[in-house]
Structure 1
Amino acid sequence: MQLSRPFYQLPVLFDAARLQAEVAGLPDAAWAAHPDGVTGNSAARLITVGGAETDAHHGQMLPTRWLNAMPYMRQVLAGFGVVWSRSRLMRLAPGSGVPLHADINHHWHKRVRLHIPVFTSPQVRFHCDSEDVHMAAGEAWIFDNWRPHKVENPSSMARIHLVADTTGTAAFWNFCCGPKPPRAQWPMVPWRQDANARLLTEREQRQPVMSAAEVELLIDDLRAELSLADHAAAAQLEQFDAMLESFVQDWRQLCALHGTDGQSRTEFMRLADALGQQAPELAGGIIMRTNSASAMLVLEKRVLDHLVKFDSGSD
């Protein structure tokens, strides 16, 4: 999600020792390799589709057995009063890191990622755009994951963060980005056995066919970021931009004719496929201004891959 600056630290602290004890109690079976095979990266899944061992983004999100075994972790998440999507403990082995990248998928368009460090050391650095910070154990942070970012763990110990995704309520965003009291006044949230740790979790968000309003929002955001690499021509960008505008207009007409209940998937897929075939011819050298990501890749990952939902349940 795009933010007005790279990092925001939230004015709250958590009991790091309690979190560490709960995480240390997880069995080896809780930890799974990174889905993309990134060396030194592993995760314990806390909120997933159906509470199962999956990295899917779509479906009814529920706590896993690992989260159910950690009462303070549940209290921490529930205390924010927001609806949580996919959430995990993310572990970086000693001497490893997360390579420089930007999160461009549809999932991230309006979701932010909350980080609460559990195990860390002062050498661990989180880089986002031109800034870098150390997130200390028990703190809470959000960052702009649309910008290029990476993590480095040159220390001799594993770094483990609670990493939870949400769109956030108005109160959450004011808490994150509004005025903050001096750090000495930030509350420490203790473990409370009587706390009402009622987790709010996302349901399936997709329609059978993406609505015209969402398509317009996604495409307009993409168009606002279009920029030229050195070898691209301005006329090419204008043609690419006009093609996207035309697609929005035609998709709106199909939605007006057929609705979005999926009864006429073939016509929607025909229009989507036509864009997918035409766009690469114009997209060469067109990038996103903020993170230099390929405009074609963003179009695929944020829009084309999500226009029509099929019964197979694939992401």
Structure 2
Amino acid sequence: MRLSRPFFQLPLLFDVARLQAEVAALPPEAWVAHPDQVPGNSAARLISVDGAETDAVHGRMAPTPWLEAMPYLKQVLAGFGVVWSRSRLMRLAPGAGVPEHADINYHWHTRVRLHIPVLTWPEVRFHCDGEAVHMGAGEAWVFDNWRRHHVENNASGERIHLVADTTGTAAFWRFVQAAPPPRAQWRKVGWDPNADHPLLTEVNPRSPIMPAAEVQWLLDDLRAELVAAVDGPEAPARIGRFGQLLECFALDWRQLCALHGVDGVAASEFQRLAMAIREAARPLSEGLVMRTNGVSALLVLEKRVLQHLVAEDAARQREGLS
């Protein structure tokens, strides 16, 4: 999610000893390799689709057995009063890191990642858009993951963060963006055996066809970030041609939605239109990138929009093909 600055620290302090004790009690089989096989990166899934061992982001989210075995950590999440999407404990081995990247996928357009360090060291640094911070154990942070960011663990011990995804309520965002009081006045959030906050989790099934209004919204946002990687006299014309292509696509998608609806009827027609825009975009997008992070405009179009226009499995079921 795009934010007004790279980092926000929330004025909260959690019980580090209790967090560490619950995480230390996890069995070795709770930890799995990073889905992209990034060396030295592993995770324990806490909230996932159906509470299962999966990294999917579409579906009914639920706590995993690992989270159910950690009452304080579950209480920490529930206490924010927001709806949580996929959430994990993220572990970095000594000397490992997270390579520089920007989160451009559809999932991240409306979601932010809350970080609560559980086990960390002064040598661990989180970099985002030229700024670097050390997130201390028991603190709470969010950051702008649309900007380029990376993490370095130069310590001799492993680093473990609770990393939880949410869109956030209005109250959550007011809290994040408010000027924090002096650290001595930050709220200490300990274990409360009488707390009864429910853990709210997403019900996020994938629509068979992406609605026209959402397509327009995503494309308008992409167009607002368009710049040429190398400025020159031809840059405005190239940006204009690519922007016009996106606008024409949005209009044609709206017409198909008006004709067929979005429940998967005539999915093949939507797929043909998506394939046509993919082919047309390749030459027109050459040399165009996102202003904030320098990522290829074509890659963002693919990852944020095109891959999510038609849910193929749902479409096949609707048309009786599976």
Aligned equivalent of 1:307? 309
Percent identity (aligned): 68
1:312 deviates by 6.2
The 2-side partners of 1:195 and 1:30 are apart by: 27
1:208 deviates by 1.1
Aligned equivalent of 1:70? 70
Aligned equivalent of 1:130? 130
Q: Structure 1 residues 185 and 50, CA, compared in 2 at 3 Å: closer, same or farther?
A: same
The 1-side partners of 2:314 and 2:122 are apart by: 45
The 1-side partners of 2:197 and 2:25 are apart by: 20
SS at match of 2:59: coil
SS at match of 2:91: strand
Within 5 A, what are the aligned runs for 1:184-263?
Answer: 184-230=184-230, 233-234=234-235, 235-263=237-265
Aligned equivalent of 1:289? 291
Structure 1 segments (4+ residues) deviating >3 Å: none
User: Deviation digits for residues 83-139 of structure 1, max 9, x if unmatched?
Assistant: 000000000000010000000000000100000000000110000001110000000
The 2-side partners of 1:200 and 1:115 are apart by: 18
User: Deviation digits for residues 14-51 of structure 1, max 9, x if unmatched?
Assistant: 00110000000000000000111100000000000010
The 2-side partners of 1:313 and 1:23 are apart by: 41
Aligned equivalent of 1:28? 28
The 1-side partners of 2:85 and 2:255 are apart by: 32
Aligned equivalent of 1:173? 173
Aligned AA (2:254)? R
Gaps of 5+ in 1: none
User: Deviation digits for residues 260-284 of structure 1, max 9, x if unmatched?
Assistant: 1111211111111100111111111
Aligned equivalent of 2:149? 149
How many residue pairs end up in the alignment? 314
Aligned equivalent of 2:279? 277
Aligned AA (2:37)? G
Q: Structure 1 residues 197 and 29, CA, compared in 2 at 3 Å: closer, same or farther?
A: farther
Aligned equivalent of 1:158? 158
Aligned equivalent of 2:300? 298
The 2-side partners of 1:214 and 1:71 are apart by: 37
Aligned AA (1:168)? G
SS at match of 2:160: strand
CA contact (8 A) 1:82 1:169 kept: yes
Aligned equivalent of 2:319? none
Gaps of 5+ in 2: 317-322
SS at match of 1:42: strand
Aligned AA (1:256)? A
The 1-side partners of 2:296 and 2:130 are apart by: 20
Aligned equivalent of 1:15? 15
The 2-side partners of 1:88 and 1:163 are apart by: 5
User: Deviation digits for residues 143-176 of structure 1, max 9, x if unmatched?
Assistant: 0000000000000000000000000000000111
CA contact (8 A) 1:74 1:197 kept: no
Within 5 A, what are the aligned runs for 1:48-67?
Answer: 48-67=48-67
Q: Structure 1 residues 274 and 313, CA, compared in 2 at 3 Å: closer, same or farther?
A: closer
SS at match of 1:208: coil
Aligned AA (1:285)? G
Aligned AA (1:240)? F
Aligned AA (1:247)? F
Aligned equivalent of 1:115? 115
The 2-side partners of 1:10 and 1:256 are apart by: 44
1:180 deviates by 2.0
1:205 deviates by 4.0
The 1-side partners of 2:110 and 2:188 are apart by: 29
Aligned AA (1:75)? Q
User: Deviation digits for residues 173-222 of structure 1, max 9, x if unmatched?
Assistant: 01111232221111101101221142100012421111111001100000
The 2-side partners of 1:179 and 1:72 are apart by: 27
The 1-side partners of 2:127 and 2:315 are apart by: 35
The 1-side partners of 2:280 and 2:315 are apart by: 27
SS at match of 1:284: coil
The 2-side partners of 1:312 and 1:119 are apart by: 41
The 1-side partners of 2:206 and 2:35 are apart by: 22
The 1-side partners of 2:314 and 2:21 are apart by: 40
